[in-house]
Chain A
Amino acid sequence: MFFLERFKREKIADGVYFNTIYDDRFKTSRILVSMLTDIDRDRCAANSAVAGLLVHSCKAYPSFLDLSRKLDSLYGTTLSGSSSKRGDSQLVNVSAVGISDAYSLDGESVYEEMAKLLCGALFEPNVSDGAFKEEDFRQEQRQLIDTIDAQFNDKRAYAKKRFLEIMCKDEKYGVNLCGTKEQVSALTSTDVYKAYLELIKTARVEIVCLCANDTENIRNIFRECFANVDRAPAYTDTLIIPRANEVKEHTDRVDVVQSKLMLGFRTDCAEPDENVDAAKLMSAVLGGTAHSKLFNNVREKLSLCYYCVSGYDPNKGVLTVESGVEQENIEKTKAAILNELEQMKQGNITDEELASAKLSMANSYLTSVDSSAGTQGWYLAQVLKGKTLTPQEQAQRINAVTKEQVVVAANRLTLDTVYVLTGSGKEGE
């Protein structure tokens, strides 16, 4: 068996797990600390600020310049913070990546130093009087506002964000994790420190360490750090809306050359439903590959667009289709996409379409673990899901899905939202 015997999972505190993947193929080691908490409209901006502040400075390296210099001396080790969505949960991530010890020029252990630095960033932040250092906080606050503004700059990303806000208006899933500019402006350094304490205390924590070292020492350091925390893990959950009752339509007008069209569907199928694999394959056949129905018909046959792709989020049970088209072709493209879906519902799927989607998915699962970030991400996703499958096992499960199951999955789709971002031209809503 590839991998699994090299994977070890150990509980080191209440709701805190240390996962080790031993792998000597890579020239880097990586450690990720992922803190899982419910998305809270009023708290997610503070949580996002925590992710930034923890890697901005720490007690041992009290300025950004000090910390950056330390990282450089560790052969350009990176320490980064981010915030991401998983279903209705927010993941606050702090991670370190550095070269494996075998490649250091003077024989020192980069791994040990890097692990201690990460631990210090997490447990010894640059804090006094119950707040992050004021100038660090101001810097992070300013950058968060820049990030929110920059979300409008990239129109494909902006369309996705607006689409989600509209489709999932009353769901946690629709919340922008950076918060609003008003929320970020109103934050104080004390608020962010409180959010930090809350995360350390209540978030479920998954530490994923990928390296070619013995991890016992580092595991014990993390264990001791968490032993000083009065843990009270909170339960997280995701609201699944099985089907849409009516279609929401929304158009935003911005001065763009190309219009963006997004369709959102409820799939009536989300983790841990046993039909998730069929839904994944259904999405791949529809628009997940360069052999899919959307690629071959909407792009290649009708020449309507450069991209027309579908994506399925099994953690939320939502499927989206997105495309960039001429304003005058919006309706035509929408009809063409819905027609391809209708074909699938009717069972018009060829053996070739099914086989190529399966091959393509297997290829992407197996290829992902040839990257160190991909391997770490794979195992994080597995432990969060609560069933640790290898990429091969996941590929086998997809391979076992029948055409009938794909057709059933397609028939469970209901159109929820049609979103258009377009120029200020002639066409109305």
Chain B
Amino acid sequence: MQMKTVESSLVKDKYYVVDHPSGLTIYVYPKEGYKSTYAIIGTKYGSVNTRFKVDGGEEITVPDGIAHYLEHKLFESEDGDAFARYAKTGANANAYTSFEKTCYLFSCTENFEESLEILLDFVQSPYFTPQTVAKEQGIIGQEIKMYDDSPSWRVMFNTLVGMYQKHPVRIDIAGTVESIAEITAEKLYDCYNSFYNLHNMVLCVAGNTTVEQVMKIADKMLKPCENHEVESIFEDEPYEVGESYVEQKFPVTIPMFNLGFKEAIGSEPINSKRAAYTDILLYALASQSSPLYNKLLDSELINDSFDFERMEGPNYAAVIFGGESRDPKRTAELIKEYIAAAKLNGIPQEEFDRAKRAVYGNIISDFNSNENIANVIVDMHFEDRELFEYVDAAANATLDDINARLSEILDVNNCTLSVVCGDE
């Protein structure tokens, strides 16, 4: 068993990475003085993985929303469901599915070892029958409808639908009431057997624990498993956005907008340095201390709901600005004008200096929370990045780095404005 220690003089913390003989990569991040422990296990399998091949075999296509459906159903085993078992340890358990991963987690202050046993046991014990699959239709149907009523969710998905012409990131994570009706126990097993392979998964535990404690339970619970190559298939996605404007009428009193800048796809996810540079760049461009934000505020176009993020996954990447606005079109024009000018003139030194300090402070603050730490480690593991390398990159970034990054992304001629608004 190989173990590596990773330390940071900036964060003043360290964590451990173990390549477990079962095939699972395990991260342990002890937090001194903490009473609670957070554990999360994830598989690199999300809503976008709807077409795939295992070990070069035949292509399998599955219904939209199946990864999320599987997440719900994995909690059930032959001898009852995992929630009932957690009820005896007091752990607070949950799970989520995103575009590119599915994660199961819990936090606890007592009975950590028993709770970790439950987690590792149920993710390795699928049990799907026609009856248990049917029961979930009503519950997930209501989950889908809850999101259908959410303007912030709709405005985001409409942006993706506008930006992406082929890529499955344009499809709702939970699927539709119609697509989930096609899900069967057999299809769930197909997906489970393809993607829930320990070699395709990662466990991270942060908080009140030690490597020895985690390994004791891992050794007991993890069943060695053969590595299968699973290859996801994505249709070629054009560089250009599909639609530059998407609008949905909705019962809202103040319109909401997302302005998404679609990026060219590299063969590899971005590295730690470029991730850190992007964060500083976006902060310099659009945070509350930026000339852009203040201009939009003074023009009465935005309010403090204005925000921005960069998203990236297999074969897609984009930067999205969004919030509430009385005039989304004018807001989008000003954002694009500002970015176009910044690309020409570069980010000024003093704006870069402030953004770098602020982003560094925000990163340090995130190390307060077991949950943040473990979630970010899981994300970075799947994207081949290392956490402390990212912190160092932010602390050592230069203005040239940031301006170079600016020249790579935010093509003002390749974006989608999505608006959700009421009937005028």
A window 210-261: CB within 8 A of B: 254-258
B window 141-173: CB within 8 A of A: 142-143, 145-146, 148-152
Nearest opposing residue in chain A for B367, CB measure: A27
Residues of A within 8 A of B149 (CB): 155, 256-258
**Complex: A367 Cα to B109 Cα, angstroms:** 7
Is there a chain A Cβ closer than 8 Å to B108's Cβ?
yes
Whether A99 lies near B207 (C-beta < 8 A) is no
A-B residue pairs in contact (CB < 8 Å), sample of 14: A28-B368, A75-B360, A75-B364, A142-B303, A152-B253, A153-B252, A258-B142, A299-B139, A300-B135, A304-B138, A306-B140, A307-B146, A363-B36, A367-B35
Residues of B within 8 A of A326 (CB): 142, 145
The smallest C-beta distance from B377 to any residue of chain A, in angstroms, reads 17
The smallest C-beta distance from B395 to any residue of chain A, in angstroms, reads 7
Whether B32 lies near A291 (C-beta < 8 A) is no
Query: A33-41, A195-203, A352-360: which lies at the B interface?
Result: A352-360
Interface string of B21-52 (1 = CB under 8 A from A): 00000000001111110000000000000000
Whether A76 lies near B361 (C-beta < 8 A) is yes
Residue from B12, B84, B361 whose CB has the most chain A CB atoms within 10 Å: B361
Residues of B within 8 A of A69 (CB): 289, 354
**Complex: A303 Cα to B143 Cα, angstroms:** 11
Residues of A within 8 A of B86 (CB): 290-291
Partner of B90 from the list A65, A147, A255, A362 (CB cut-off 8 Å) is A362
Whether B109 lies near A99 (C-beta < 8 A) is no
Nearest opposing residue in chain B for A366, CB measure: B109
Number of A residues, CB within 8 Å of B: 69
Interface string of A340-356 (1 = CB under 8 A from B): 00000000000010011
Interface string of B57-89 (1 = CB under 8 A from A): 000000000000000000000000001101111
Is there a chain A Cβ closer than 8 Å to B357's Cβ?
yes
Whether B252 lies near A152 (C-beta < 8 A) is yes
Whether A372 lies near B368 (C-beta < 8 A) is yes
The smallest C-beta distance from B372 to any residue of chain A, in angstroms, reads 10
Whether A291 lies near B361 (C-beta < 8 A) is no
Is there a chain B Cβ closer than 8 Å to A1's Cβ?
no
Whether A105 lies near B110 (C-beta < 8 A) is no
The smallest C-beta distance from B91 to any residue of chain A, in angstroms, reads 7
Partner of B92 from the list A99, A143, A367 (CB cut-off 8 Å) is A367
Given contacts A68-B288, A363-B110, whether A255 and B139 have CB atoms under 8 Å apart is no
The smallest C-beta distance from A24 to any residue of chain B, in angstroms, reads 8
The smallest C-beta distance from A55 to any residue of chain B, in angstroms, reads 10
Is there a chain A Cβ closer than 8 Å to B404's Cβ?
no
Is there a chain B Cβ closer than 8 Å to A98's Cβ?
yes
Whether B358 lies near A72 (C-beta < 8 A) is yes
Whether A25 lies near B145 (C-beta < 8 A) is no
Is there a chain B Cβ closer than 8 Å to A12's Cβ?
no
Residues of A bordering B, CB below 8 Å: 2, 24-28, 64-65, 68-69, 71-77, 97-99, 102-103, 105, 139, 142-143, 146-147, 149-150, 152-156, 254-258, 289-291, 295, 299-300, 302-307, 324-326, 352, 355-356, 359-360, 362-364, 366-367, 369-372
B window 98-137: CB within 8 A of A: 107-110, 135-137
Whether A99 lies near B365 (C-beta < 8 A) is yes
Residues of B within 8 A of A105 (CB): 357, 360, 395
Whether B35 lies near A366 (C-beta < 8 A) is yes
B window 280-298: CB within 8 A of A: 287-289, 291, 294, 297-298
Whether B148 lies near A72 (C-beta < 8 A) is no
Given contacts A102-B12, A255-B251, A256-B149, whether A150 and B142 have CB atoms under 8 Å apart is no
Given contacts A68-B289, A362-B110, whether A73 and B357 have CB atoms under 8 Å apart is yes
Residues of A within 8 A of B297 (CB): 64, 139
Residues of B within 8 A of A142 (CB): 300, 303
Is there a chain A Cβ closer than 8 Å to B6's Cβ?
no
The smallest C-beta distance from B205 to any residue of chain A, in angstroms, reads 14
Nearest opposing residue in chain B for A63, CB measure: B294
Is there a chain A Cβ closer than 8 Å to B254's Cβ?
yes
Whether B254 lies near A149 (C-beta < 8 A) is yes
Is there a chain A Cβ closer than 8 Å to B345's Cβ?
no
Closest 9 CB pairs of A and B: A75-B361, A359-B90, A303-B138, A76-B358, A356-B87, A76-B361, A68-B289, A72-B354, A291-B87
**Complex: A152 Cα to B421 Cα, angstroms:** 12
The smallest C-beta distance from B155 to any residue of chain A, in angstroms, reads 10
Residues of B within 8 A of A257 (CB): 145, 148-149
Given contacts A99-B365, A146-B254, A153-B253, whether A364 and B357 have CB atoms under 8 Å apart is no
Is there a chain A Cβ closer than 8 Å to B362's Cβ?
yes
Is there a chain A Cβ closer than 8 Å to B268's Cβ?
no
Whether A75 lies near B357 (C-beta < 8 A) is yes
Whether A28 lies near B34 (C-beta < 8 A) is no
Whether B368 lies near A359 (C-beta < 8 A) is no
Residues of B within 8 A of A256 (CB): 149, 251
Residues of A within 8 A of B146 (CB): 156, 258, 306-307, 324
Residues of B within 8 A of A153 (CB): 151-152, 252-254, 256, 324
B window 351-389: CB within 8 A of A: 354-355, 357-362, 364-365, 367-370
Is there a chain A Cβ closer than 8 Å to B304's Cβ?
yes
Whether A363 lies near B139 (C-beta < 8 A) is no
The smallest C-beta distance from A136 to any residue of chain B, in angstroms, reads 11
Is there a chain A Cβ closer than 8 Å to B2's Cβ?
no
The smallest C-beta distance from B130 to any residue of chain A, in angstroms, reads 15
Given contacts A97-B365, A153-B256, A257-B145, whether A370 and B140 have CB atoms under 8 Å apart is no
Partner of A258 from the list B10, B110, B145, B252 (CB cut-off 8 Å) is B145
The smallest C-beta distance from A256 to any residue of chain B, in angstroms, reads 5
Is there a chain A Cβ closer than 8 Å to B267's Cβ?
no
Whether A75 lies near B358 (C-beta < 8 A) is yes
B window 253-308: CB within 8 A of A: 253-254, 256, 287-289, 291, 294, 297-298, 300, 303-305
Whether B10 lies near A150 (C-beta < 8 A) is no
Nearest opposing residue in chain B for A361, CB measure: B90
Given contacts A27-B364, A103-B10, A370-B36, whether A154 and B152 have CB atoms under 8 Å apart is yes
Is there a chain A Cβ closer than 8 Å to B340's Cβ?
no
Nearest opposing residue in chain A for B355, CB measure: A72
The smallest C-beta distance from A34 to any residue of chain B, in angstroms, reads 20
Given contacts A75-B357, A76-B362, whether A360 and B92 have CB atoms under 8 Å apart is yes
